[in-house]
Structure 1
Amino acid sequence: MPADDATLTGLLARPALRAAVDRMVPADDFPSGWDAGVGDFLARILRTELPHAVELLTAGLDLLDAEADARAESRSGDGGGTTGFAALADTGRDEVLDALRAGQTTADWSGVDRSEFLRLMESLAVQGFYADPDNGGNRDGVSWRMVGYRAAPQDAEWPAPEALTVKLPLTPFGDLEPHYDAIVVGAGAGGGTAACVLAEAGYRVLAVERGDFLRTEDLRGDHLRSHRALFGYAQSAGPVASGHPRVWAPDGDEEVVVGPTDGRWSNNAMTVGGGTRVFGAQAWRFVPEDFRMASVYGVPDGSSLADWPLSYDDLEPYYDRAEWELGVAGDPAGFTGAGPRRRGLPMPPLPGNLSGARLAAGARDLGWSTGHVPLLINSTPYGGRPACVRCGQCVGFGCPAEAKNGSHNTVLPRALATGRCDLVTGTFAERVVTDDSGRVTGVALATLAGGSGPADGEVRRRTLTADQVILAAGAIETARLLLNSASATEPTGLGNRHDQVGRNLQGHVYAGALGIFDDVVQNSAGPGPTIATHDFRHHNDGLVGGGMLANDFVPMPLATYNLLTGAGVIPRSGAASKRGMRELYQRTTMVMGPLQETPNPRSRVTVDPRVRDVFGMPVARLSGGVLDLDRPTAAMLQRRAAEWLAASGATRTVPSGGVGRGPSGGQHQAGTCRMGTDPATSVTDPKGRVWGHDNLRLADGSLHVTNGGVNPVLTIFAMAFRVADLLAKKG
């Protein structure tokens, strides 16, 4: 039950709360947690997003006081002089907390989950201390100064946000036309590109986005709600936390209903621009082997590994178009196995950084080939947008200079500039509509009057007709939309006559290693990834595929805290934890990469009629898991990353990432409506048309037969250019 104001006020005034915070983040050369503003952070977060936590904190502090009293009484034997946890000296407080961690309690904790209370206290204390100051703690950025993190370069000249925010004309839900030449569902990488190509070809287009159009400042600086890490709070780029559940059902486990603040939900940003608003912008091409995986490796038992129905050469013109029309910085030279290309990239690479220089030397000693990381980020002014200012808040955030090139500031403005494209936001596609013969005729749309939350107002609905429908809602939601579009002619879902819609869900398992150095290798100069090796993407003995390895983005201090505590390098709280953060933040770097997951038909999206969203539609059910044969591939990337770091001077390496439980999805989700040449094993033909429906196409990662050992966004852009170009040319 949420706490009332009086209960919260009483909790915040308790001496035991301050005393506990200040032992979890104690004073040294820098202020304690409470003096750094953790109390202000707690007052804000417990009133807004965590009111349900007040009860546990109150009960836990009661027992913390009781524990202190019981221990003092046991020592003195006379029961006198005991006034709770706050009355103890620092050594006594630490003794009580250590006893709680070890389960060696004196008081009766049977009514309170001791471990949960401690985890909550520790997590809130460090969140308040290390997160951005706008969340109430970290007063004047004191913890960032302590560890040496900078959100922005000292000499950065920041344009005013109002001068940078892309201003796209939006069409109100009630003003939509009853008929369009084409309706595009989704305004991310694939949908924005398809809308642009068709509008510029003369089509009257409607682009439908379920999220809102967010300003640049809406996506800046919040270290608790970025799309880089989940701390249990609603992410800045949506969706809203309530009214949009999913069901997570991993192999061998009971299913559970989860919301967007849970990592198992497999969230992607839901806003105009989709994931490209907050992506890291790595712009890799797939290599020729990625398109013929079955031919190279065979088809392992239990997998659905297959070749694409098109080749690298078929997609190369569209890769080139995406690189030059959106803007990619980099140098394609230096990588083994890369396919031929007609020209280089439109911008030079971004400047190097400390970790990249160290890794370059290490790679030379190992005899590995390396190259620059291509980025959809301006290294020089391009497309009317400025160059990157190299801030320390790139991946997971909106760009303060609009130097990241997403669909919202490239292809969508072009589409709208034609005067032939409408863009509607806050609008959900409930189903693709068909007539009695089964032919696609349009899309049924819904919106919430007055906002995007379930309590904001009544549901308004409209059904619009269209000659062509293009779905680009992301691999999970595109599959869900097709399955929710069942009809008399296709009772199990649109395009699902052979039970293929939703199968072969792939994201990307990440694997690598954390390296700890004796000297500084991290100085907050963004974006971060400057060097990569592709020596292990393919042809690894006994393995299917492999993956790219690169140095990582500038980490948020909280992200480094999670890495170091998760690896056991530093404790979760206390003086040693704080000292470890101060000494190690600038001396750590990550080498990570996505491995090419082997698709399997049991990793899939279905719909769960028992659980419905705010509009009353069945939600996505994510089931299955990553195949065991991918585990040794992840282990190989961990070993190679550690080897690279050690050769570069790391004195300690710790493996990171790897195969977890359940299906893989997230921001690299792909594969649920794969293309092919046989309707029995695929959902679309090689042109992206859903089998049996000549006017229904897909233009997102759901088309991917395999998802490569690199970030897939450039391939999504290229495929969308191809799908829409073929439609525009009647191909």
Structure 2
Amino acid sequence: MSLPEVDICIIGSGAGGAPMALELGRAGFKVVVLEKGPHYRPQDFIHDEILNSRRNFFMPLPWEEPHLIRRNAKERYERSTAAWTANCVGGGTVHMSGFFYRLKPVDFRLRSTLGAVPGSTVVDWPISYEELAPFYDKAEVELGVSGQAVPHPFAEPRSGPYPLPALDVHPVAGEIDKACAAMGWHSLPTARGIISRPYKGRAPCAYCALCGSYGCEMGAKSGTNANLIPAAIATGNVQVRPGCMARTVEVDRKGRARSVVYVDPDGVTQEQPAKVIVVSCTAVESARLLLNSTSSRFSQGLANGSGLVGKNLIFSSFGESQATFRLSKQADKRPWLKDPGPFVNRSIQDFYLMPDTRFGFRKGGTLGFMWTHPNPIHAATGLAGSGASAVFGKELKDRMRAYRDSRILQFEVYAEYLPTPGSYVGVEQGVKDHFGIPVAAITVERHPLDLVATRFLVDRGEEVLLRLEPDEVKRTNTTGETTILQHGTCRFGDDAATSVLDKHCRAHEVPNLYVVDGSFMPTGGSVPSTLTIAANSFRVADHLVRSLKSGARAGG
């Protein structure tokens, strides 16, 4: 059934979709937001690991809505939940940990800085850090970010302090500060999308330790469900429709986007016409939607005349090590181990860009320190192991007793994931989800420099851990990727032959189609990208509002 036309239809309500909804609603335009997941309320966010982390509260079940993934084009695809973020109003911002970093100026000119990188399709952005900076400011204010800006070699320019003071931290943060200072490194307070004080009607953090993988019942976490979406609805111009799965974006005879065909909560197919359509489903799912939106004009997928929709997929390189402190051995000389504070909030960015290639690479990344997540079932299954090396009975009980006698400090590496021709998203016509829609098929082929840089960063992080004199340091990963941080499948640029979107994230081939999730990013940077996606969405919204209003004044 075709519904009455609105000004703008936005698909997705996370870091990309919500800023657009808010700004367009404030400007007086009629907006419909389609969200495939439910609209959870604060009372729905309970501390239940099975519900949140082991069922489909956030992620769909792989037998209902699989992603297919393989390590290179010669392998067979496997069904997976990899590269899903979250299916609910607010998207992945609902269960994020809220590590809110900005990109650095160098991230916008990586091709110019590194030169040609054999095996990579790295390019510069068509905008500069200076162009995005005012919208970083806006995103931090609108979302609510707590932090403390301090000088360091790779500090990005800022116009002022964070909107809120830094969160309280565990005393181990001071120990990390001392260890870094002794090595001549800079231990930085990590900004968080978690409010440290009452802010815009929201209650501050209760320091429960369950940020990542959980929604915030306090409303203190700065997911778009807690701030931008309620503010957008309050304009009276924005309607959010949960439980609505977009199937295709349809076009008219002139090749302009005409409507979104979607399945409503009752399983009925609906069609929402709109003057402008904004796609923000995540880099993987937006590519899937466009590739499934075929027509006589766009036989290879909507806005895909260049053949680049789905190409240049970027995740974030991942590495990790853990330091274990036995309380029974260490608590007397390190009484801070018994402090219950959940946040470490310390980062190192001294190796964000190396001055030369003496270590085999130039673009490095960020180390973020934190206590390990307290999910007990996850911990127990990790202790038990799997396959031939799995343990049970007394040995497993002994491991669990040792775990209960421990505080485990870890760091995560966020490093450059260089775009390559071998990492991309397609659709598999032979595999459909329970809506009957062909699913996303992901191929991952890493650039070797990613792994060199990640190993180097893990080595540096372990130097910090060892200076704290733990009972054990265990390296857990140097070759991973964080698929929840995804970018690049509709990269923006000035040349329609080498990019899908223009600098305003409008499709080169479809003048009323925009894509504002991480798809637009030609490079992912060496930090989590949530804040950047939100800032860019505010930038695009500013342009679109001015464009629509000037068009209305001109009579079309």
Query: TM-score scaled to structure 1, two decimals?
Result: 0.70
Query: AA paired with 1:276?
Result: T
CA drift at 1:497: 0.7
2:296 is matched with 488
Query: AA paired with 1:513?
Result: S
Q: In the alignment, is residue 550 of structure 1 matched against residue 376 of structure 2?
A: no
CA drift at 1:202: 1.0
CA drift at 1:506: 1.4
2:210 is matched with 393
Matches within 5 A, 1:271-282: 271-282=88-99
State the SS of the aligned residue for 1:659: strand
Counterpart among 53, 58, 64 of residue 243 in structure 1: 64
Query: AA paired with 1:489?
Result: R
Counterpart among 2, 7, 15 of residue 181 in structure 1: 7
Q: Distance in 2 between matches of 1:571 and 1:361?
A: 39
Q: Distance in 1 between matches of 2:183 and 2:256?
A: 59
Query: Is the CA contact 1:234–1:241 (under 8 Å) kept in the aligned structure 2?
Result: no
Q: Deviations over 1:182-204 (max 9, x none)?
A: 00000111111111110101110
Q: Which moved more, 1:556-565 or 1:355-364?
A: 556-565
Q: Distance in 2 between matches of 1:604 and 1:287?
A: 25
1:370 is matched with 187
Q: In the alignment, is residue 613 of structure 1 matched against residue 433 of structure 2?
A: yes
What 5-or-longer segments of structure 2 have no aligned partner?
A: 549-556
2:551 is matched with none
Query: AA paired with 2:22?
Result: C
Q: In the alignment, is residue 582 of structure 1 matched against residue 408 of structure 2?
A: no
1:726 is matched with 543
Query: Is the CA contact 1:185–1:470 (under 8 Å) kept in the aligned structure 2?
Result: yes
2:552 is matched with none
Q: Distance in 2 between matches of 1:630 and 1:197?
A: 37
Q: Distance in 2 between matches of 1:665 and 1:690?
A: 27
CA drift at 1:727: 0.2
Q: Distance in 2 between matches of 1:183 and 1:286?
A: 29
Query: AA paired with 1:316?
Result: A
CA drift at 1:495: 1.1
State the SS of the aligned residue for 1:281: coil
CA drift at 1:218: 3.0
Query: Is the CA contact 1:363–1:648 (under 8 Å) kept in the aligned structure 2?
Result: no
Change (3 A) 1:411 1:697: same
2:85 is matched with 268
1:10 is matched with none
Q: Distance in 1 between matches of 2:30 and 2:98?
A: 30
Q: Look at both structures and tell me which one has the larger radius of gyration over its CA atoms.
A: 1
State the SS of the aligned residue for 1:395: coil
State the SS of the aligned residue for 1:445: strand
CA drift at 1:581: 3.4
Q: Distance in 2 between matches of 1:523 and 1:289?
A: 41
Counterpart among 257, 270, 283 of residue 462 in structure 1: 270
Query: Is the CA contact 1:505–1:665 (under 8 Å) kept in the aligned structure 2?
Result: no
Query: Is the CA contact 2:62–2:79 (under 8 Å) kept in the aligned structure 1?
Result: no
| Higher strand proportion | 2
Q: Deviations over 1:639-694 (max 9, x none)?
A: 0111110112224322222224xxx5632111111111111221100100011222
Q: Distance in 1 between matches of 2:253 and 2:170?
A: 61
Query: AA paired with 1:605?
Result: V
Query: Is the CA contact 2:176–2:187 (under 8 Å) kept in the aligned structure 1?
Result: no
Query: Is the CA contact 2:492–2:499 (under 8 Å) kept in the aligned structure 1?
Result: yes
Change (3 A) 1:382 1:567: farther
Q: Distance in 1 between matches of 2:340 and 2:36?
A: 34
Q: Distance in 2 between matches of 1:422 and 1:240?
A: 28
Q: Distance in 2 between matches of 1:698 and 1:656?
A: 36
Q: Distance in 2 between matches of 1:332 and 1:300?
A: 33
Query: TM-score scaled to structure 2, two decimals?
Result: 0.91
Query: Is the CA contact 2:384–2:392 (under 8 Å) kept in the aligned structure 1?
Result: no
Query: AA paired with 2:507?
Result: V
Query: Is the CA contact 1:247–1:255 (under 8 Å) kept in the aligned structure 2?
Result: no
Q: Distance in 2 between matches of 1:680 and 1:445?
A: 30
State the SS of the aligned residue for 1:291: helix
State the SS of the aligned residue for 1:707: coil
Change (3 A) 1:481 1:369: same
State the SS of the aligned residue for 2:203: coil
Query: Is the CA contact 1:674–1:702 (under 8 Å) kept in the aligned structure 2?
Result: yes
CA drift at 1:219: 3.3
Change (3 A) 1:480 1:571: closer
Q: Deviations over 1:206-245 (max 9, x none)?
A: 0000001123343321223535xxxxx4242232454212
Matches within 5 A, 1:580-729: 580-585=399-404, 586-660=406-480, 664=481, 666-729=483-546
CA drift at 1:177: 4.6
Q: Deviations over 1:397-455 (max 9, x none)?
A: 01131110111111111111111111101101111110122111111111252xxxxxx
Q: Deviations over 1:241-283 (max 9, x none)?
A: 54212222321553234143xxxx3221110010111000011
Q: Distance in 1 between matches of 2:270 and 2:294?
A: 18
State the SS of the aligned residue for 1:513: strand
Query: Is the CA contact 2:372–2:408 (under 8 Å) kept in the aligned structure 1?
Result: no
Q: In the alignment, is residue 534 of structure 1 matched against residue 349 of structure 2?
A: yes
Query: Is the CA contact 1:534–1:547 (under 8 Å) kept in the aligned structure 2?
Result: yes
Q: Distance in 2 between matches of 1:372 and 1:563?
A: 30
**Percent of residue pairs identical:** 32
2:75 is matched with 254
State the SS of the aligned residue for 1:189: coil
Query: Is the CA contact 1:544–1:598 (under 8 Å) kept in the aligned structure 2?
Result: no
State the SS of the aligned residue for 1:507: strand
Change (3 A) 1:367 1:720: same
Query: Is the CA contact 1:595–1:708 (under 8 Å) kept in the aligned structure 2?
Result: yes
CA drift at 1:525: 3.9
Q: In the alignment, is residue 210 of structure 1 matched against residue 28 of structure 2?
A: no
Q: In the alignment, is residue 302 of structure 1 matched against residue 119 of structure 2?
A: yes
1:472 is matched with 280
| Higher helix proportion | 1
Matches within 5 A, 1:335-484: 335-449=152-266, 459-484=267-292
Q: Distance in 2 between matches of 1:651 and 1:390?
A: 27
Q: Distance in 2 between matches of 1:722 and 1:558?
A: 42
Query: AA paired with 2:42?
Result: T
State the SS of the aligned residue for 1:295: helix
Q: Distance in 2 between matches of 1:477 and 1:546?
A: 28
Query: Is the CA contact 2:245–2:262 (under 8 Å) kept in the aligned structure 1?
Result: yes
Change (3 A) 1:561 1:291: farther
Change (3 A) 1:602 1:528: same
CA drift at 1:561: 4.4
Query: AA paired with 1:528?
Result: F
Q: Which moved more, 1:202-211 or 1:299-308?
A: 299-308
State the SS of the aligned residue for 2:50: coil
Change (3 A) 1:697 1:588: same
CA RMSD in angstroms comes to: 2.2
Query: AA paired with 1:291?
Result: F
CA drift at 1:711: 0.9
Matches within 5 A, 1:487-506: 487-506=295-314
2:27 is matched with 201
Q: Distance in 2 between matches of 1:466 and 1:437?
A: 15
Q: Distance in 1 between matches of 2:317 and 2:157?
A: 28
Query: AA paired with 1:719?
Result: N
Query: Is the CA contact 2:73–2:443 (under 8 Å) kept in the aligned structure 1?
Result: no
Matches within 5 A, 1:14-93: none
State the SS of the aligned residue for 2:484: helix
State the SS of the aligned residue for 1:196: helix
Query: Is the CA contact 2:490–2:501 (under 8 Å) kept in the aligned structure 1?
Result: yes
